[in-house]
A and B are shown apart, each in its own frame.
With several copies, the nearest count.
Chain A
Amino acid sequence: MAVVFQKTKGLTDKQFHYCPGCTHGIIHRLVAEVLEELGLLDDAIGVAPVGCAVFCYDYFSCDMQEAAHGRAPAVATGIKRVNPKSAVFTYQGDGDLASIGAAEIVHASMRGEKFTTIFVNNAIYGMTGGQMAPTTLVGQKATTAPYGRNEDLAGMPLRVSEMLATIPKAVFVERVSVHDIPNINKAKKAIKKAFEIQMKGLGFTFVEILSTCPTNWGKTPLESLKWLQENMIPYFPLGNFRNVEEVK
């Protein structure tokens, strides 16, 4: 008998509190698996956001800090400067990273802080009950955009990967998705690459992952995956925007 798949040591035994079908869980697992596979679990320090993933400090089995809303990149900067040899990462939602924490992510990129950010873009504020995020699509409804996001008053969604790719020291920037198995595999590769580049000390590394929020999108988990694929990907194209080879 061979084990084809089992729960990674990168996760504790605590059960996720996420809603049924929420892809936060998949992303957690991928990050944890990468840490385990790269042998980094004992040296890793993660930073939890404020968002649905706030309790991820209970799920990842490595050392964790829980940061104020949006400030994970600043917290990670403090951690990494103190522990330059550790694998440091932030796990952040689109409200956390792209809205309140926009300055922190831009500046961690600018300084080339040697940590990895996992950016979970679900086009909504999950935890607080479905408010508009900077990444909410035009026309998409949210509790603070009850008539759908109005392009003229609230603008168009922020493409964070494209924006950070303009910053020299953001040496790895890639957008992936987890809506099916091939994309889950690609997502894992991108996360692995990001950690590898981090450990080489080359600069700031960033993986944007498109994710679902069945609860606040008002859809079943399966409908949500479809909606992601059909609506998010056209506006948030998948692919690599920056990698270290290009930098050198």
Chain B
Amino acid sequence: MAKELWKGNEAIAEAAIKAGCKFFFGYPITPQNEIPEYMAMRMPQIEGAAFVQAESEVAAINMVYGGAGSGARVMTSSSSPGISLKQEGITYIAGAELPCVIVNIVRGGPGLGGIQPAQSDYFQATKGGGHGDYRLLVLAPSSVQEAVDLTQEAFDMADQYRNPVMIMGDGMIGQMMEPVEFTDVPKRNLPEKTWATTGTKGKREHNVINSLFIDPAACEKHNIHLFEKYAEMEKNEVRVEEYNMDGAEIVFVAYGTTARIVKNAIATLGKEGIKAGLIRPITLWPYPSKTVEAAAAKANVKAFLTVEMSMGQMVEDVRLAVNGAKPVHFYGRTGGMVPTPAAIVAEAKKVLGGAK
């Protein structure tokens, strides 16, 4: 297939459909409206598929619970305030071990905040905005093409681990158009969904989708089971891009669109004779801690500079991985402001101790 220009939001929606997603439950919110709108247009064209505009984000995530519990490939999408409303539902889905894909096209916060791009929902996504011990797989595309590829694979990941997967983009990823090629991502070998509620058909014991364990020993056991699963994910699913790392004296850590801006900055620094590299986590959870740790161990690396569209969230995971081996700095813009390459260059020079 030739490359076509696609708007990020619509590309994500089409990618989901290509991955076999037949059920979408959502509620409008800027800057992700093109996802439900595209689904509203496409789902009626597909046999047995459904688009439901839920009455709220709370309802939407619980529709996802019901649909996922019935074994279907199900998706919802929203932006920051709507994702906050979904937190109870998300922890239920994680607790009941249901596979689904949740898209968050992040905007500025806190509260009603603004509608411009941001990355200030990192903590919420990776540390658990809901209560209890649980994890989402969190994927952070930095181009529309990557959004398409990750969305398609997300459904397989979700099914493999029976776990919710979050695609975390920002207003830029959602709104911009870029060339896209829909390729068939390699299909994983997936277990049958014998646990799904589709009616017993008189052929098996009744299936129960549930996250309640009233006996604390059973509840703990369930948690330990979940964490064994999370350990598997940590082993198998970490993704990261390393860029220009050879001989880098300063290592940027940035994800999503911010990483692209950092690449511009790296080019500028390079022209000025400063070797800068980039570690771009593609999975925000599981976090590529080993890659960061390995970089911290290199003699040429003098410092880390984490760049985020937030007041500093992912930087904690960088610090945890570096564990004191090298200084870790932070530069961020927030509330919908986007860092400029020039500002990043300046910050990098400051970190390296003045202009070179």
Q: Do chains A and B touch in the complex (CB under 8 A)?
A: yes
Q: Is B2 an interface residue (CB 8 A)?
A: no
Which A65-115 residues have a C-beta within 8 angstroms of B?
Answer: 65-71, 74-84, 86, 95, 99-100, 102-104, 106-107, 111
- In the complex the two chains form, is B89's CB within 8 Å of A68's CB? yes
Bound-state Cα–Cα, A154 to B63, Å: 14
- In the complex the two chains form, is A67's CB within 8 Å of B50's CB? no
Interface residue from A63, A69, A147 paired with B206 (Cβ < 8 Å): A63
Report A165 CB to chain B, min CB distance, Å.
Answer: 19
- In the complex the two chains form, is A71's CB within 8 Å of B112's CB? no
| Stretch of B69-77, B151-159, B216-224, B263-271 contacting A (4+ beta carbons < 8 Å) | B69-77
Q: Is B23 an interface residue (CB 8 A)?
A: yes
| Stretch of B52-60, B231-239, B245-253, B307-315 contacting A (4+ beta carbons < 8 Å) | B52-60
Interface residue from B57, B59, B72, B208 paired with A58 (Cβ < 8 Å): B208
Q: Is A138 an interface residue (CB 8 A)?
A: no
Interface centre among A66, A104, A106 (most CB of B within 10 A): A66
Residues of A within 8 A of B134 (CB): none
Report B260 CB to chain A, min CB distance, Å.
Answer: 27
Residues of B within 8 A of A111 (CB): 52
Q: Is B109 an interface residue (CB 8 A)?
A: no
Interface centre among A50, A63, A78, A144 (most CB of B within 10 A): A78
- In the complex the two chains form, is B198's CB within 8 Å of A77's CB? no
Residues of A within 8 A of B201 (CB): 42-43
- In the complex the two chains form, is B199's CB within 8 Å of A81's CB? no
- In the complex the two chains form, is A78's CB within 8 Å of B65's CB? yes
Report A85 CB to chain B, min CB distance, Å.
Answer: 8
Q: Is B141 an interface residue (CB 8 A)?
A: no
Main secondary structure of the interface of A (DSSP, over half): mixed
Bound-state Cα–Cα, A60 to B200, Å: 12
Residues of B within 8 A of A127 (CB): 30
- In the complex the two chains form, is A68's CB within 8 Å of B44's CB? no
Residues of B within 8 A of A74 (CB): 54, 58-60, 62-63, 65-66
Q: Is B120 an interface residue (CB 8 A)?
A: no
Per-residue CB proximity of B273-300 to A under 8 Å, as 1/0?
A: 0000000000000000000000000000
- In the complex the two chains form, is B33's CB within 8 Å of A82's CB? no
- In the complex the two chains form, is B63's CB within 8 Å of A63's CB? no
Residues of B within 8 A of A57 (CB): 208, 210
Which A29-65 residues have a C-beta within 8 angstroms of B?
Answer: 41-45, 47, 50, 54, 57-58, 60-65
- In the complex the two chains form, is A86's CB within 8 Å of B198's CB? yes
- In the complex the two chains form, is B63's CB within 8 Å of A77's CB? yes
Interface residue from A79, A129, A150 paired with B67 (Cβ < 8 Å): A79
Report A6 CB to chain B, min CB distance, Å.
Answer: 19
By beta carbon, the residue of chain A nearest B25 is: A78
Interface residue from A66, A80, A82, A129 paired with B209 (Cβ < 8 Å): A66
Residues of B within 8 A of A76 (CB): 66
Bound-state Cα–Cα, A81 to B53, Å: 13
- In the complex the two chains form, is B29's CB within 8 Å of A45's CB? no
Cross-chain pair count, CB within 8 angstroms: 188
By beta carbon, the residue of chain A nearest B72 is: A82
Interface residue from B56, B58, B71, B111 paired with A82 (Cβ < 8 Å): B71
Contacts A78-B23, A143-B40 hold; do A65 and B200 have CB atoms under 8 A apart? Answer: no
Report B192 CB to chain A, min CB distance, Å.
Answer: 16
Residues of A within 8 A of B64 (CB): 78
Q: Is B323 an interface residue (CB 8 A)?
A: no
- In the complex the two chains form, is B56's CB within 8 Å of A78's CB? no
Bound-state Cα–Cα, A82 to B41, Å: 18
Residues of A within 8 A of B256 (CB): none
Report B122 CB to chain A, min CB distance, Å.
Answer: 22
By beta carbon, the residue of chain A nearest B71 is: A82
- In the complex the two chains form, is B69's CB within 8 Å of A153's CB? no
Q: Is A131 an interface residue (CB 8 A)?
A: yes
Interface residue from B70, B112, B209 paired with A50 (Cβ < 8 Å): B112
Q: Is B37 an interface residue (CB 8 A)?
A: yes
Residues of A within 8 A of B55 (CB): 99-100, 102-104, 106-107, 134
Residues of A within 8 A of B212 (CB): 54, 66
Contacts A66-B112, A81-B67, A125-B28 hold; do A45 and B197 have CB atoms under 8 A apart? Answer: yes
- In the complex the two chains form, is A44's CB within 8 Å of B199's CB? yes
Per-residue CB proximity of B20-46 to A under 8 Å, as 1/0?
A: 000101011110010011001100100
Question: Which residues of B approach A to under 8 Å, CB–CB?
Answer: 23, 25, 27-30, 33, 36-37, 40-41, 44, 48, 50-60, 62-72, 74, 81, 88-89, 92, 96, 111-112, 197-202, 206-212
Question: Which residues of A approach B to under 8 Å, CB–CB?
Answer: 12, 41-45, 47, 50, 54, 57-58, 60-71, 74-84, 86, 95, 99-100, 102-104, 106-107, 111, 125, 127-129, 131-132, 134, 143-147, 150, 153-154
5 smallest beta-carbon distances between A and B, as pairs: A78-B66, A78-B67, A74-B62, A75-B66, A63-B197
18 contacts between A and B (CB under 8 A): A12-B206, A41-B202, A42-B201, A54-B212, A63-B207, A64-B209, A66-B209, A71-B65, A74-B59, A74-B63, A80-B66, A82-B50, A82-B71, A83-B70, A86-B198, A99-B56, A107-B55, A128-B29
